[in-house]
Amino acid sequence: MYDSQYQETGNGPDDFWRGFFSRRQFLRNAAILAGGSFVALACGPEATATLAPTQAPAATQVPPAAAGAGVSVSPDDPRIEAGPVEFQSNGNTLLGYLSRPKGEGPHPAVLVVHENRGLLPHFPDITRRLAVEGYAALAVDLLSRVGGTSSFAGPDEMRTALRSIPRDKFLKDSNAGVAYLQSQSFVQRDRVGAMGFCFGGGIVWLMAVSNPELRAAVPFYGSAPPLDKVPNLQVPVLGIYAALDKRIGAGVPDLEKALKDNGKTHKFVTYAGANHAFFNDTGRRYHPEAAGGAWSETLGWFETYLKN
């Protein structure tokens, strides 16, 4: 059972929502899209526990977009193919955004799971960044069952809509995204990983302890999975955390102990001076140095477990 509480976040300016596109536009115009047992299924404010800061590694590949822009790889980049897709999950049509390197492949692949406000432009951009690095990448819209992200006017409506979806559907639809990637001729079906952010980071933890099809997982500041499920983990996990994110950080010591006690392959990296949602370059909490370091760590993890 999921935790019923959704924490809120405010990591995007109000004017980010002006001129938001319709569902039809989402499906027909890829260029427009360029412009957490116990998981708190959201991004949110800090509680009272603390997490000791650690030194962030040097940022060697800082995502180049400035805060507020949200795009660092264009949909028209000649190195990739990118655009909206639809696929099925137990008879339900899901919306997503798929990017891949030019050429037949097959390529390793990554599922991208968004934050608690739906499939906003930042997440398709992440798929394009991954495509430039040699991965097919799919961002699934977990609001698909209620019309899709573009059906809602802003973050409050999106969070309310997420609450209306039976929470087991999030995991089912994310796993359907993995299956969709595996069905593509340009994907190495035995080389599929997942990464997710806040709400999506919690989903990726749940996938990691339940989906044997995954080869690697990178949850960014995601709520810990039920600790009694850790023995089921067969996926190497890179956990990305922020030293100022005390709510999520409070669960890290017990999770890390469970992983160590069960001999699970994992690495946790905590970034000093960074807060929850620091990777999102459209938000107020964007931390370029931490984001660059985390991106380098992520690429290194996927290189090791998906490419090698």
As annotated, the active-site residues are 198, 245, 276
Tokens (6 digits) for 91: 């008879």
Q: Judging by DSSP bridges, how do beta strands 216-220 and 80-89 pair with one another?
A: unpaired
| Residues 6+ positions from 233 with CB-CB distance below 8 Å | 208, 209, 259, 262, 264
Beta strands, E only, the chain: 80-89, 92-101, 107-113, 136-140, 187-197, 216-220, 237-242, 266-271
Q: What is the DSSP letter of 210?
A: T
The two tokens of residue 48 are 């009272």
- The DSSP string of 58-111 is P-SS---PPTTT--SS-TT-TTEEEEEEEEEETTEEEEEEEEEESSS--EEEEE
- Give the 3-state secondary structure of residue 136: strand
